[in-house]
Amino acid sequence: MDNELVKAIAELDEGKTLYLVRKRIEAGATPLEIVEDCRRGVEIVGQNYSNGTYFLSDLVMSEEILRKVMEILEPHFPPIEKSGGAKVIIGTIEGDIHDLGKNIVAYMLRSAGFDVIDLGVDVEPKAFVDAIVKTGARIVGISVLLTFAIGAIKKTVDLIKKAGLRDKVKIIIGGYPVNEKVLEYTGADYFENDVMKAVELVKKISAGEA
């Protein structure tokens, strides 16, 4: 493990991170080793976000640094399609195109080893059902910012029910307007407004603890 690289990522030092990644490739480190260090660095970024040291702008910066690291690493190894982790379907609900929250949750889940199937934004209810059927994922995350799109979440939950899949999946809703009341209205299983808490929740569900 390269503590310097972990630290550079944790401190969001783009120049230093990219320099260290290049240096290690030259020194013969495998891309997987480097990715593992990056993951540890991102984990610290996540902890710093949870304890209030880092903010969204810092998460966005870490995502940007990681993207550049991956660009450097890509020629050195075939991109891993499947991480081997539990599958999580995620998407912003129909009628809403806000993707910041969804992207950050997807990014943190991937960093935590989950196999994230990102359906994008403005996702129609049927697309969630199709994705469950196709991938067999047991966890579905639905992101929403605009309150008027909440109805489409209810529609999605109802459609999952109608397809006979309701018992097979846990549905988490997240975003600005969600609360106990919205959870009840939509019929989803959990709600979360905080990215790191959402990641913890997915870990718990995946481990059968929630």
Q: What is d(CA 95, CA 148) in angstroms, rounded to the nearest whole number?
A: 8
Question: Is the CB of 56 or the CB of 80 nearer to other proteins?
Answer: 56
Question: Is the CB of 85 or the CB of 151 nearer to other proteins?
Answer: 151
Q: Based on the shown chain and the rule CB under 8 A, indicate whether residue 64 belongs to the binding site for other proteins.
A: yes
**Interacting residue with other proteins among 95, 124, 127, 210 (CB under 8 A):** 95
Q: Based on the shown chain and the rule CB under 8 A, indicate whether residue 182 belongs to the binding site for other proteins.
A: yes
* Token pair 């891309």 in the structure block, residue: 31
**Interacting residue with other proteins among 22, 134, 168, 181 (CB under 8 A):** 181
Instruction: Please list the residues that pair with 109 across neighbouring strands.
Output: none
Q: Count residues near other proteins (CB under 8 A).
A: 26
Scanning 34-42, 55-63, 78-86, 160-168 for contacts with other proteins by CB under 8 A, the matching segment is 55-63
Question: What are the structure tokens assigned to 176, written together?
Answer: 């600005």
Q: What is d(CA 190, CA 122) in angstroms, rounded to the nearest whole number?
A: 21
SS3 of residue 190 by DSSP: strand
Question: Is the CB of 85 or the CB of 95 nearer to other proteins?
Answer: 95
Give me the helices (H) in the chain, please.
Answer: 3-10, 14-26, 31-50, 56-73, 100-111, 125-135, 150-162, 180-186, 195-206
Output the smallest distance, CB 1 to other proteins, in A. Answer: 26
Contact criterion met (CB below 8 Å) for 83 and 114: yes
**Interacting residue with other proteins among 2, 9, 20, 54 (CB under 8 A):** 54
- Positions touching other proteins (CB under 8 A) are 12, 14, 53-58, 60-61, 64, 95, 97, 100, 146-148, 150-151, 176-179, 181-182, 185
